[in-house]
Structure 1
Amino acid sequence: MRLTPLLPLMFVVAVMPAMAAEPKPEIDRAKATPQAVGAAHTLRSIPEACARIEGMFTGQSADPYKFAVVRTSPNCQPRARFVDAAKAGPSVAKGWIFNDLIRVPNASCPAQQAVVKVWRKPGANGSPELDAQGRARIYLGDSKEAAQADTLAAIPMFAASMAVEGKACE
Structure 2
Amino acid sequence: MPRKPWLYLLMIAPLAGPAHAADDTAPEIERPVAPPQAVGEVHALRTIPEACARIEGVFTGNATEPYRFAVLPTHSNCQPRARFVDATEVGPDTASGWIFNDLIRIPSEACPSQHALVRVWRKPGSAAPLELDAQGRVRIYLQESKQTAGGAASKLPLFTAAMAVEGEACEN
TM-score, with normalisation over the residues of structure 1? 0.81
State how many pairs are aligned: 149
Is the CA contact 1:127–1:136 (under 8 Å) kept in the aligned structure 2? no
Distance in 2 (alpha carbons) for counterparts of 1:138 and 1:125: 15
Q: Which structure has more strand as a fraction of its residues?
A: 1
Q: After the TM superposition, which residues 1-170 of structure 1 pair with which residues of structure 2 at under 5 Å, given as runs? A: 22-147=24-149, 152=152, 154-170=155-171
Match of 2:14 in 1: none
Deviates more, 1:48-57 or 1:71-80: 71-80
Corresponding residue SS for 1:54? strand
For the structure 1 residues 137 and 35, does the alpha-carbon distance in structure 2 shift closer, same or farther, using more than 3 Å as the test? farther
Shift of residue 86, structure 1, vs aligned partner: 0.7
Relative to structure 1, the CA distance from residue 71 to residue 136 in structure 2 (aligned partners, 3 Å threshold; closer, same or farther) is same
How far 1:138 moved relative to its partner? 3.5
Secondary structure of residue in 1 paired with 2:114 = strand
Q: Assess, with a 3 A threshold, how the Cα gap between structure 1 residues 110 and 21 changes in structure 2: closer, same or farther.
A: closer
Give the Cα–Cα distance (whole angstroms) in 2 for the partners of residues 80 and 99 of structure 1: 14
Percent identity of equivalent pairs: 62
Quick one: which amino acid aligns to residue 165 of structure 1? E
1-structure distance, mates of 2:87, 2:151: 25
- Cα gap change, 1:151/1:45 in structure 2, threshold over 3 Å: closer, same or farther? closer
| Structure (1 or 2) with the larger CA radius of gyration | 1
Query: Deviation of residue 108 (structure 1)?
Result: 1.5
Say if 1:24 and 1:141 are closer, same or farther in 2 by CA, change over 3 A.
Answer: same
Say which structure, 1 or 2, has more relative contact order (CA 8 Å, 6+ apart).
2
Note if contact 1:65-1:114 (Cα within 8 Å) is conserved in structure 2: yes
The alpha-carbon deviation at position 135 of structure 1 amounts to 2.5
User: How far apart are 1:151 and its partner, in Å?
Assistant: 5.1
Root-mean-square deviation over aligned CA pairs: 1.8
* Runs of 4+ more than 2 Å apart: 135-147, 150-153
For residues 46-91 of structure 1, give each alpha carbon's deviation from its aligned partner in whole angstroms, at most 9, with x where no partner exists.
0111110000001111110000101111121111111110111011
Q: Which letter maps to 1:158?
A: F
Give the structure-2-normalised TM-score: 0.80
